[in-house]
A and B are shown apart, each in its own frame.
Chain A
């Protein structure tokens, strides 16, 4: 009589010590090799899109903060751009410059969390704390200007909620000078560490056509070698005035598109964000940040789709307006939701410990995935 074998089903339940939030992963494993990964979502669903239909246009902005709560300015930015296109208003130059600087600062802060938790999942607990200490500097700069550290409600439709604090320019420049040696230290401590390379190189290789077919974006896509960044390929706001490079994964430590490449893309993106900030910080023109904010937002009937480059990928807002003060439909194309699909493809044939490393390198935030 032949022995009936089946794959063991291991449940990495909604609460597990790796970060990222409430995500349930069902793994079918054979000993240590993973056969299939099924993510179960919905533990953080808060009906954002339905709420938006009951709010007025400017009241939706605090709700958009809570989608990708680690990169809140990007969410505000995308929504404000979408409604401004619907209304057809132009914002002053000063507003554009400040929006770009804030978005890039937020990009650095979000990547710090992503890299820190990636390292912490793999076992290096110290860089996590060093990076959070650096993130504190960014959060206090933003806190002085708009009053909140994480959910800002800063970028409004037609302008900003507050003008920048008088100390903003000086503190941002100090931060830029402080941060450059920190990246070098992080490289020495984590990126080129042989054990870290062993754990992440050649793991979770995402081939180019799979990445494009699944619709992934952000560092997940750029880690596979494709040079596509919305800030330079479909520029919005004033990104076309700045000179920056787009880092792509080159397979320096293994194959192109492995976890190390995605991690490496994030670190180099932080450097490029610093470059953009340094180019913009000295040229902020004068003006009134609240002059273009409309008193009553009642856009004409129509639809609009506007996308921005969030730290995790392409965040898109599709808004249908029916002429009243409440939007008819707001649909969010969340980058983490689309990137999470790739997990099933990437994990085949690797060990259980690799699933964690791969999940950390895709970098999802459950607020976006479940909305």
Chain B
């Protein structure tokens, strides 16, 4: 019997306590941010879309190997001696032409594992997150700065160079044999 009255009293009292809390919240200001007009300033370590500064890229392939989902594709062509590719911002001399540097953002999981191995710190994460597309293929970002013809030209140059070197080597090994022959 006592439990009956206690239940009644508790029922009414706890409801009133709850109502008081929600009533107080009626007058607290809203925590919503009116998004497209007001945007929050994101912290500096924020991990959103990647960016590659191609001037600094030496084509070492470390980022591509570190990526767990294989979303970075890099193709490079060795340069022939005598070609000047320039120097990166921390003094390293570049030796490879980067003909293809594609990052597929549909696959990227924003884990940041590619940023740490880069020796020149040319790949880093920016705070851009509003880059959705209608077509999935538009999410493959091509960072290489060489155009198609230039890339082909570099490749052909390199193949010519290696072919010449092979020919020279073959000639150099053939010549001593010839010199030996008349001797014997």
Quick check: do A and B touch in the complex, using CB within 8 A? Answer: yes
Q: Which A residues have a C-beta under 8 Å from some C-beta of B?
A: 55, 58-63, 126, 130, 133, 136, 143-148, 151, 153, 161-162, 165, 185, 188-190, 192-195
Pair A165/B45 contact, Cβ less than 8 Å: yes
What 0/1 pattern do residues 10 to 54 of B give for CB contact below 8 A with A? Answer: 110011011001100100000100000000001101110000000
Contact partners of B46 in chain A: CB under 8 A: 143, 147
Q: Which residue of B lies closest to A192 (CB)?
A: B14
Contact partners of B21 in chain A: CB under 8 A: 185, 188-189
Q: Which B residues have a C-beta under 8 Å from some C-beta of A?
A: 7, 10-11, 14-15, 17-18, 21-22, 25, 31, 42-43, 45-47, 66-68, 109-113, 116, 125
Q: Which of A59, A151, A162, A193 contacts B45 (CB 8 A)?
A: A162
Query: How far is B18's CA from A146's CA once the two chains are assembled, in angstroms?
Result: 38
Q: How far is the CB of B97 from chain A (nearest CB, A)?
A: 28
Query: How far is B109's CA from A63's CA once the two chains are assembled, in angstroms?
Result: 9
Query: How far is B113's CA from A151's CA once the two chains are assembled, in angstroms?
Result: 13
Pair B47/A148 contact, Cβ less than 8 Å: yes
Pair A193/B47 contact, Cβ less than 8 Å: no
Pair B14/A59 contact, Cβ less than 8 Å: no
Pair B111/A62 contact, Cβ less than 8 Å: yes
Q: Which residue of B lies closest to A185 (CB)?
A: B21
Pair B66/A59 contact, Cβ less than 8 Å: yes
Write 13 A-B pairs (CB below 8 A) sorted by A numbering.
Answer: A55-B68, A62-B68, A62-B113, A126-B25, A153-B113, A161-B112, A161-B116, A162-B45, A188-B17, A188-B18, A189-B21, A195-B11, A195-B15
Pair B113/A194 contact, Cβ less than 8 Å: no
Contact partners of A147 in chain B: CB under 8 A: 43, 45-47, 112, 125
Known: A62-B68, A62-B109, A151-B109. 16 other contacts (CB 8 A): A59-B113, A62-B113, A133-B31, A147-B46, A147-B112, A148-B110, A151-B111, A162-B45, A165-B43, A165-B45, A185-B21, A189-B18, A193-B14, A193-B18, A194-B11, A194-B14
Most buried by A among B7, B14, B15: B14
Known A147-B46, A188-B21; contact A193-B113, beta-carbon cutoff 8 A? no
Q: How far is the CB of A151 from chain B (nearest CB, A)?
A: 8
Q: Which residue of A lies closest to B127 (CB)?
A: A147
Q: How far is the CB of B158 from chain A (nearest CB, A)?
A: 31
Known A63-B68, A147-B47; contact A194-B112, beta-carbon cutoff 8 A? no
Q: How far is the CB of B48 from chain A (nearest CB, A)?
A: 9
Contact partners of A161 in chain B: CB under 8 A: 112, 116
Pair B68/A194 contact, Cβ less than 8 Å: no
Q: How far is the CB of B170 from chain A (nearest CB, A)?
A: 40
Query: How far is B112's CA from A133's CA once the two chains are assembled, in angstroms?
Result: 28
Q: How far is the CB of A252 from chain B (nearest CB, A)?
A: 13
Query: How far is B127's CA from A340's CA once the two chains are assembled, in angstroms?
Result: 39
Pair A144/B43 contact, Cβ less than 8 Å: yes
Pair B45/A146 contact, Cβ less than 8 Å: yes
Query: How far is B146's CA from A337's CA once the two chains are assembled, in angstroms?
Result: 52
Contact partners of A62 in chain B: CB under 8 A: 68, 109, 111, 113
